[in-house]
Amino acid sequence: MFVTGPHTGFEKDLVIELAQRDDINLVATSRKEGQLDYLDQYNHGQILKVILDVTKAEQVKTSIQQAMDKFGSIDVLVNNAGIGYFETFEESDLDEAKYMFDVNVWGLVDMMRNVLPIMRKQKSGIIVNFSSIGGLYSFPTLAFYHGTKYAVEGITESVIEEVKDLGIKTMIIEPSGFRTDWAPRSSQKTLPSQRDYAQFTDFIEGNAQGAHHEPGDPKKAAQIIIEQVMTNPNFLVK
């Protein structure tokens, strides 16, 4: 199972659950050395740690080749690398927004396009794309984030139709409020500078301050996702 971005939050719980099992070959990725050191305690010879920034095409290709060299196949790809960006639409920094699209959308696309030839040759495989409730509903100050998640939904739904007869299954995960680092650490936040948008200051600050108090338990969700992937990989998991 090849998992992108598993060094904080939701994805970390997912990888820890996988690492504790000796019946799964695990490829865990991070952008920097040392971010996956927590996996060393579980290393039973079936864990491969690789450096990967999904916005860099060469690193995508290299990481996939490393996985193939180690394990000989990629049966499951979990696209979980992602970031957020809180700011009103008019005041948003477009460079920040474009970078978020590079991570959340184009990085996911690049991973899928490089893994699909392997899965087609195998005549089997599962692709799991993390979207969010933000791919279903929109909230103020998150316009560009929602844009990335709607893109993930649309791309995934189209690919499902293209590969369903090739032995390849595709899933979308749409988590909502879970106790992770998404709001405080994985999201850029800028408070409104224009008085007309001042009403949204509390919304942005509240998302950061409310982190780790959400109702969702990421560990339980990780267990459910793994069970779903291993036994019944349906199209949608909410």
Reported as a single tens digit per residue, the pLDDT across 100-113 is: 999 999 999 999 99
The mean per-residue pLDDT over the stretch 193-205 comes to: 88
What is the reported pTM?
A: 0.88
Which is catalytic among the residues 30, 145, 169, 186? 145
Residue 222 phi/psi, 5° resolution? -60, -40
Tokens of 173: 């995960």
Min mean pLDDT across 19-28, 61-70, 140-149 is at 19-28
Query: Cα–Cα distance between 58 and 55 in angstroms, integer?
Result: 9
DSSP 54: T
Selecting among 131, 132, 186, 187, the annotated active-site residue is 131
Q: What domains appear along the chain, each with residue ranges and CATH number?
A: 2-82+104-177+217-237 (3.40.50.720)
Between CA 134 and CA 146 the distance in angstroms is 5
Q: For residues 38 and 44, what is the distance between their CA atoms, to the nearest angstrom?
A: 13
186 is known as an active-site residue: no
131 is an active site residue: yes
Catalytic residue among 149, 169, 186, 187: 149
Residue 210: which pLDDT band, with cuts at 50, 70 and 90? Answer: very low
Determine contact, residues 169/159, Cβ cutoff 8 Å.
Answer: no
Q: Tell me if 36 sits within 8 A of 28, measured CB to CB.
A: yes
Strand order in the sheet with 236-237: 47-51, 26-30, 2-3, 76-79, 125-130, 168-173, 236-237
